[in-house]
Structure 1
């Protein structure tokens, strides 16, 4: 219970006790100890009366005194802060974990998905309508790349793209993806039959291998053999 409520209750009890004592003093001083009968008592109207335990009537209490007693007997209204604490609900429990142990679910496992009508945008990036797919393990060769020394330069990027298009010939591919539909550009290993496209580009020198890629060995062999972008213009041979 709050201190304000305790103080209000004690004040009310003190008012009631003082009024009772005042009424008893009036009775003893005005009647000389004799009981006042109903015929001798003046009209009190709506004023209240207090009756003693022996059945005798005590001095009447005015309306103002009765209202004070009634207000003192009423419990104090709770403060907004205490009401808020009483009505507050416990916090919502934390949501259950996605997987046992509280760990969030990982990305979807990749699986072979057949993709039709691939278009080579360059030696390393394929398009399927508005979606794009970069072959894993290699650095795509941009179509505007120029190779060779001064005076013997040639458009190696465009020829690398042409070589990949001639290999595909609009045939369906099998790519390792987490979902058949995606947005933007995804990265995946793709195969034409049993031939891995990234490996084919690295072996023939049409694309460089990514740092740390397992295709680094075959790409280095192509460089030593001066294949693709590491050699001269194949159109002059």
Structure 2
């Protein structure tokens, strides 16, 4: 029993001594900086390194043009930004606006008088020559099938009178009262008078007019001015 006590005391004494030694070593490492000897370090000799020659180093190329600032306060300022090689263009139209073609003025004219197929009068000093067609002269005669002629000009005016029947005409014009003759388009109800005359052959369409095909069809069908006799 006594021997075990001695052994325990010796062990505790050893642990105490070992702890003191560790604490002393830590204090020494904390207070004293580590010194290095440069002679003991393995530093390569610069002459042994494969470095490029000074002449072979190429300096970076920088463009000579000026840089346009992009800071928000100066980005669009002509006093700061470089204004060379800039072109002023017209501003675009707003997306919300749309161009709408202006509708022509239409005036309702009462009591039309058929002077000839393609010409209408209103009183003594106002006349309208219908667009896209050539007015048929009253003295015009057309060949008949019996080698004679028939008064197609007079008949054409009669046909226009029957169409109008003293009804008011709606015509494209900016004025209701004028003096002399104007050329425009007129309707009786929804019917375009020029189109009706060309379609039935009582007036010939002008060259290049959109009604030229109607005149050719009337000629082929032999109706109106192209008939062999009045029908």
User: TM-score category by the smaller chain?
Assistant: 0.5 to 0.7
1:138 paired to 2:121: no
Report if the CA contact (8 A) 1:109-1:178 is conserved. Answer: no
**In the alignment, which of 159, 164, 167 is matched to residue 160 of structure 2?**
164
Deviation of 1:219 after TM superposition, in Å, equals: 1.2
CA distance in 1, matches of 2:170, 2:103: 16
1:190-209 correspondence to structure 2 within 5 Å: 190-209=186-205
Q: 1:64 is matched with which residue?
A: none
1:57-76 correspondence to structure 2 within 5 Å: none
Instruction: Kindly report structure 1 stretches of 4+ aligned residues shifted beyond 2 Å.
Output: 149-152
Residues 83-126 of structure 1 show CA distances to partners (whole Å, capped at 9, x for unaligned) of xxxxxxxxxxxxxxxxxxxxxxxxx9841110000010000000
Unaligned 5+ runs, structure 1? 1-107
CA distance in 1, matches of 2:179, 2:208: 27
| SS of aligned partner of 1:134 | strand
**In the alignment, which of 148, 152, 155 is matched to residue 151 of structure 2?**
155
CA distance in 2, matches of 1:231, 1:113: 35
1:5-44 correspondence to structure 2 within 5 Å: none
| SS of aligned partner of 1:234 | coil
| SS of aligned partner of 1:181 | coil
Q: 1:214 is matched with which residue?
A: 210
Report if the CA contact (8 A) 1:120-1:126 is conserved. Answer: yes
Q: 1:121 is matched with which residue?
A: 115
CA distance in 2, matches of 1:161, 1:117: 16
Deviation of 1:232 after TM superposition, in Å, equals: 1.5
CA distance in 1, matches of 2:218, 2:142: 15
Deviation of 1:152 after TM superposition, in Å, equals: 2.4
TM-score, length-scaled by structure 2? 0.53
Deviation of 1:191 after TM superposition, in Å, equals: 0.4
TM-score, length-scaled by structure 1? 0.52
Aligned length: 128
CA distance in 2, matches of 1:212, 1:182: 29
Deviation of 1:210 after TM superposition, in Å, equals: 0.8
CA distance in 1, matches of 2:177, 2:211: 27
Larger radius of gyration: 2
1:225 paired to 2:217: no
**In the alignment, which of 68, 88, 111 is matched to residue 105 of structure 2?**
111
